[in-house]
Amino acid sequence: MIDQDRPIGFIDSGVGGISVLKKSIRQLPHENFIYYGDSLNAPYGSKPLEEIQRLTFAAIDYLLEHKAKAIVIACNTATSAAVHLVREQYPDLPVLGIEPALKPAVESTNGGSILVMATETTLKERKFALLMDRVAKNRRVIKMSCPGLVELIEDGKANSPETYDYLKAKFDSIAIDDVDAVVLGCTHYPFIRCNLRKVIGPKPKILDGADGISRHLEKVLTTRDLLSQRTDFGEVL
């Protein structure tokens, strides 16, 4: 039987997955966590598919060496590129991936367009096409690739005028009055929420997948009898 107090491993291509980790700590305060942020190789979104897969498996190996009882790939790009391969190689290991919050966007809006900001890899992979087909068949989905945005966030410029100018240029050609929701399809992007709101105004909802993955993580741990029974707070290792 697996020790229930072993840590839950989180992977991202840098600091972005911290936004997901924080939600999971609030959802599961008695769990231990270990975070692998690969800022050295960020961003993943512009890399070849095979390289993203190699980097993802290197992160998985690190977390397993540290006795992770479950893995959260808290990176949309790595999820799109590699989650299916990780599950094939480790069939007994709970492996959760994150996907753009397209379903909540559809369910919480009234028929207008939904804009998805993400990396090039996330938007072009078959996994995203299947997601669109499954939950947004009758909605107009605008795909916005954001090269260079992860680098700004990794450099600590999420709230800077430089990032505001970047976003302003990206949205200049968008009829924002027709957009009901903006989906943050990269776990780095919640850090630019303040600048994004300044650019798009008050009308569109802004959604990300962190809440959904945290709830799903609790459900998976409970189902597999891996939920920690400790009463004191856990640690981030």
- Among all residues, which ones are annotated catalytic? 75, 186
For 194-199, which contacts have Cβ atoms below 8 Å and span 24 or more sequence positions? Answer: 194/158, 194/159, 195/158, 195/159, 195/160, 195/163, 195/164, 195/167, 196/167, 198/164, 199/164, 199/167, 199/168, 199/171
Cβ neighbours for 109, distance < 8 A, ≥ 6 positions apart: 180, 181, 205
Q: Which residues, 6 or more positions from 41, have their beta carbon under 8 angstroms from its beta carbon?
A: 13, 47, 55
Whole-number Cα distances in Å, 5 to 187, 203, 236: 26, 43, 12
Cα distance between residue 215 and residue 98, in whole Å? 12
Structure tokens at 110: 């009234």
